[in-house]
Structure 1
Amino acid sequence: MTSEDLSANELPASNSLANRYGGKKRGLTRTSKRNIVIVALVLGIVFAAWVATSSAQAPVTFKDIGYSTVDGTQAEVDYQVTKYPGATAKCAVKAMDSKFAVVGWKVVEIGPNEPKDSADGGNTTAQRTVLRTESPAVAGVVDNCWIVDSGK
């Protein structure tokens, strides 16, 4: 008795691959493409609105003027803060030692200014912050400034 050759009954290679891995993928429908374009446009508009409103908020800038070491436990940092006169800002001021390790740190609140307070209509104010230090400081700088929300 002879057995039948099973290899002759096998499906062609393209059919067997389709059975194993699935058939050809269909492309996106016209509705799907349109929905993707609409979502991309909406996201673009939202991003543009976010950029426009975030840059419209009152910015705050600072400039280090100098520092002095009173003694081994105290340093003074002089700086200028420029902001909208009606805004309240906070600045983080730090003193550092010779290895740039922070030896003194303080967050200072700078309230609203009167337009007559400075030559530029109250935008820029000079500040001096006294920091207590844990060891002698060789530098004093403003680390960062930010506008405080009026709702808080």
Structure 2
Amino acid sequence: MSRAADSAVLAERYGPVRRVPSRRLRTVLISLALVAALGLGIWVAVEGPSSLPESKDVGYDIVSDSEASVDFEVTKEFDSTARCLVQVLDDSYAVVGATTVTLGPHTGDDVSERTQSFTADLRTERRGVTGVVESCWTVEA
């Protein structure tokens, strides 16, 4: 049997032979993927964190079985509006009270003035043991 006949029999039995990309093509594709990943990483490092508000829990006060207040700070851009989800938790970390606080644009001249302090008063279903800011996000205008 000739070599061509052997190839035809094998192709009929197992399907056509797969072509493997050349070493040069693989190198080019990997290089492009690395450049794209590096570009994405730089974009996230430069643009990402500055546009997202950051929160910091400062303190809380459990006023009664049905009331609490949470003190927190938010750092955001001067002209942006943010919303923060503030929660009161019980000793099993169940949410017993929650509210969403909207923080509008504010004025300032210095980067240090991007941080503002807030207090959220909440009603609770039962006595809580701690108050936290769960998350903050930017609201599209």
**What letter corresponds to residue 116 of structure 2 in structure 1?**
T
Unaligned runs of 5+ in 2: none
Alpha-carbon distance, 1:84 to partner: 1.4
Query: C-alpha separation between the residues in 1 aligned to 2:18 and 2:79?
Result: 61
- What is the aligned residue count? 135
Alpha-carbon distance, 1:105 to partner: 0.7
Are residues 132 and 28 of structure 1, via their aligned partners in 2, closer, same or farther at CA, if it must alter by over 3 Å? same
Alpha-carbon distance, 1:60 to partner: 1.3
**What letter corresponds to residue 79 of structure 2 in structure 1?**
G
Structure 2 residue 99 is the aligned partner of structure 1 residue 99? no
Counterpart among 112, 121, 125 of residue 105 in structure 2: 112
SS at match of 2:125: coil
Identical-residue share of aligned pairs (%): 33
Alpha-carbon distance, 1:62 to partner: 1.0
> Residue 22 of structure 1 aligns with which residue?
15
Alpha-carbon distance, 1:15 to partner: 2.7
Query: C-alpha separation between the residues in 2 aligned to 1:103 and 1:23?
Result: 64
Higher alpha-carbon Rg: 1
SS at match of 1:115: coil
Query: C-alpha separation between the residues in 2 aligned to 1:99 and 1:137?
Result: 10
Counterpart among 73, 76, 100 of residue 69 in structure 2: 76
Query: C-alpha separation between the residues in 2 aligned to 1:119 and 1:45?
Result: 31
> Residue 145 of structure 1 aligns with which residue?
136
SS at match of 1:52: helix
Alpha-carbon distance, 1:64 to partner: 0.6
More strand by share: 2
Counterpart among 123, 127, 134 of residue 136 in structure 1: 127
Structure 2 residue 63 is the aligned partner of structure 1 residue 66? no
Q: Which portions of structure 1, spanning 4 or more consecutive aligned residues, are displaced by more than 2 angstroms?
A: 14-17, 22-29, 40-51
Counterpart among 88, 93, 96 of residue 81 in structure 2: 88
> Residue 117 of structure 2 aligns with which residue?
126
**What letter corresponds to residue 147 of structure 1 in structure 2?**
T
Query: C-alpha separation between the residues in 2 aligned to 1:28 and 1:99?
Result: 57
> Normalised by the size of structure 2, how large is the TM-score?
0.74
